Amino acid sequence: MVESLSTINNKLNMTYRIAVADFSHETLTFCPEPTDLKAWEEGTIKYGPETLNTEGEGQTYISGFKDAFENEEDFELVGILDAGWPKTTGYGSWVSTEAFDVITGRITSRLGELRQVDGVYLSLHGAMAVTNVPRPEAEIVRRVRKVVGDVPIMVTFDLHANEDIEMAHAADAVFVLKTYPHLDSHIIGRKAGECMIKTLRGEFKPTMAYRKPKVVSASVFQASEFPPMKHVYDRCREWEKKGVFCASVAPGFAYADVPDLGASVFVVTNDDHELAEECAQDIHDLIWSLREELTRKLPGAKDGVAQVLDMIKKGTKPITIAYHDERLGDGTHVLRELLDQSAENWCDTCLADPTALYEMNEKNKVGDTVEYTMGAWLHEISGKPVKVKGKIEYLGPLEWIETGPMGRGAERIIDLVAMLDLGKNRHLVVTERLYAPMSADPLKVMGLDMDSLDIVVLKSRVHHKAWWDTWSTVDFPVDPPGLGPANLGLLEYTHLAWDLYPIGEKYRK
Ligand SMILES: [Zn+2]
């Protein structure tokens, strides 16, 4: 890295100015709702210094990055922008070119206004898919680079990132979290911060190696504490003990039809090219060797619920059912089976139906008995609407402070939610949007007696396990029709690499 004039100036002034921005999305391109500028504006975008205000958010990438600078008086952090999750009912589909250009433009124009920038930290997700922009995160880094010049740009990613060589060329150092459920965003943000500090002081020369194992896997098989991914993250930590600064693996986000789909490996060392290359190749080879374990079959709703009821009859309970491939919120496949198979003592924690919810809120109150035909309105894959009759046991906004490991300490608010008592200790939570409780906290606030339940249904893949595995005896993933299936062969991709295992053209029979 050639030192820029501003870096040299800065050293004389003894203050380094680091810009911080976040622009993140996990785009499920098979979903029906586009993620346009309106959706982003209706979500949360923070500007300027607010970017660095992480109070009430629990531990985040940015809180970790800030942490690294706590006792470093010769550094100044400057918040630029934080665009997190836009507002869509379920997962948002393609981010519009306009939204991407406008939000990236807000980042670059603010950077341009700063007279001096010595380094940039970009907290990105990695699975953004943008119309007409094939590799959006690399493009963000390039546009930022154009404004700030040759200063260190450090990037952190969620492990669901789909990245390739363009990112390896664009950024000075890439760091990916290592846990799924994601519990180390703070740690990986801090790592990026430490790298920034040492690099600007001339104590560290970020040297990166990159590999792309041609493997893609469903999220439900990527839990970091279980094989096969546990082997991969253990190996990363072994290399870090052998002198690698950070060995990162993103297994990727399978549900985006993008050319850089699939796993990627980024290794950062201090000026040791050989070590970086050796580590990256080793991890690449390990992932390739695990490719078959990263794919298996799961039961559908009917079979799955029947198996769960059988386990309960034999005394194995309580059980969480992970309706893992439901990415819209309106899916009814599991609810229908619970009703049809006369299951009792359960709570289905999300049926997104804003129309029914708003009507209930307008016309009814807690204690009323209501009858609605709900769900399956957003997409035909969600099933058929279900007729439910029950007593409203909760209706209104919901607030709590998260005590589970996912987002511990964060202040959570849901604008409007209802819980219906369907009799026989059966409960249905009706929401505006796709939602999965990361612990029983919100359910308890609504008055649910967790000890009385045999089954909790969660529209989640792995994140819920961080807390729900402490509640349930078995976590049981089911795979009814949905937009995030375990069998990736069910989706129609058009932008894939031909040799991507197991769905590239090379492997299609
Ligand atoms: Zn993720």
Per-residue pLDDT tens digits of the chain, which is 509 residues long: 445 555 555 556 679 999 999 999 999 999 999 999 999 999 999 999 999 999 988 899 999 999 999 999 999 999 999 998 899 989 999 999 999 999 999 999 999 999 899 999 999 999 999 999 999 999 999 999 999 999 999 999 999 999 999 999 999 999 999 999 999 999 999 999 999 999 999 999 999 999 999 999 999 999 999 999 999 999 999 999 999 999 999 999 999 999 999 999 999 999 999 999 999 999 999 999 999 999 888 999 999 999 999 999 999 999 999 999 999 999 999 999 999 999 999 999 999 999 999 999 999 999 999 999 999 999 999 999 999 999 999 999 999 999 999 999 999 999 999 999 999 999 999 999 999 999 999 999 999 999 999 999 999 999 999 999 999 999 999 999 999 999 999 999 999 999 999 999 999 87
Long-range residue pairs from 305-310, CB within 8 A, at least 24 positions apart, any chain: 305/334, 305/337, 305/338, 305/341, 305/343, 305/478, 306/337, 306/341, 307/476, 308/343, 308/455, 308/476, 309/341, 309/343
Are 246 and 317 contained in the same domain?
Answer: no
25 C-alpha to ligand 1 centroid (Å): 10
125 C-alpha to ligand 1 centroid (Å): 8
Question: 309 lies in a domain?
Answer: yes
Are 58 and 193 contained in the same domain?
Answer: yes
- What is the total count of domains within the chain? 2
Are 252 and 327 contained in the same domain?
Answer: no
Question: 371 lies in a domain?
Answer: yes
Expressed as residue numbers, the domain containing 208 is 5-289
Are 251 and 386 contained in the same domain?
Answer: no
SS3 390: strand
291 C-alpha to ligand 1 centroid (Å): 20
424 C-alpha to ligand 1 centroid (Å): 36
Question: 494 lies in a domain?
Answer: no
459 C-alpha to ligand 1 centroid (Å): 15
159 C-alpha to ligand 1 centroid (Å): 5
182 C-alpha to ligand 1 centroid (Å): 7
Sequence-ordered list of residues with C-beta below 8 angstroms from that of 265, at least 6 positions apart, any chain: 209, 210, 211, 212, 213, 247, 248, 249, 280, 283, 284, 287
Are 218 and 337 contained in the same domain?
Answer: no
C-alpha distances in Å from residue 4, one per residue of 77, 141, 192, 200, 487? 18, 17, 20, 11, 49
327 C-alpha to ligand 1 centroid (Å): 13
Domain boundary among 247, 266, 289: 289
179 C-alpha to ligand 1 centroid (Å): 9
How far apart CA 192 and CA 80 sit, in angstroms, is 17
How far apart CA 176 and CA 159 sit, in angstroms, is 6
Question: 501 lies in a domain?
Answer: no
368 C-alpha to ligand 1 centroid (Å): 39
Are 105 and 38 contained in the same domain?
Answer: yes
